[in-house]
Amino acid sequence: MLFLPQKPYLGVGRLRDQLTYPAQNDSFTDDVLNRTLLDCGLPQLAQRLGEEHNWAQVLSGGEQQRVAFARALLYKPQWLFMDEATASLDDASETRLYTLLHERLPNTCIVSTGHHANLAQFHTQRLQLEYDPTGLGHLIPELLSDMARPSIASRKR
């Protein structure tokens, strides 16, 4: 299980440690880490794994979110919860990263919260929380059209 918040945790230390967080080891090779950075649209960070910085101050919001996507690709969780995880990205980048997740993590159940209308194409269901004056609230499931992205919508969940 992995959670990707809108503002991912990044600390002071090597870039390698930011990618492999929360693990504190060298369980991934440089080649795997650099390839993942490239795949997530961070070519400027490839080959900088040993550099030490306060990465939360060095990287833009979009770059930080791409690092979080790289973590997901590395860890291959069964469940991936994403809370506004692409809020700092444009639609094209968001589409590319979600497509990458679906291609590389076909058995991962992805749960997203977000305001971008673009997100709907990457999910087969939507849960809407409806206000109830009694204070209980209601979850209303809605099946989304699978016509736009049949290869993604038909994948095993």
pLDDT value at position 33? 96
Task: Give the pLDDT band (50/70/90) at residue 145.
Answer: low
Q: What is the pLDDT of residues 79-127, one digit of tens each?
A: 999 999 999 999 999 999 999 999 999 999 999 888 777 787 787 777 7
The model carries a pTM of 0.83
Contact status, residue 144 vs residue 120, Cβ threshold 8 Å: yes
* Distance between CA atoms of residues 66 and 86, nearest Å: 8
Round to whole Å and give the CA distance between 138 and 140.
6
What is the pLDDT at residue 73? 97
List Cβ<8 Å contacts ≥24 apart for 36-40.
36/70, 36/73, 36/74, 37/70, 39/70, 39/73, 39/100, 40/66, 40/67, 40/69, 40/70, 40/73, 40/97, 40/100
**pLDDT tens-digit map of 17-70:** 999 998 877 789 999 999 999 999 999 999 999 999 999 999 999 999 999 999
Residue 150 has pLDDT above 90, yes or no: no
What tokens were used for 115? 């305001």
CATH topology of domain 2-153: Rossmann fold (3.40.50)
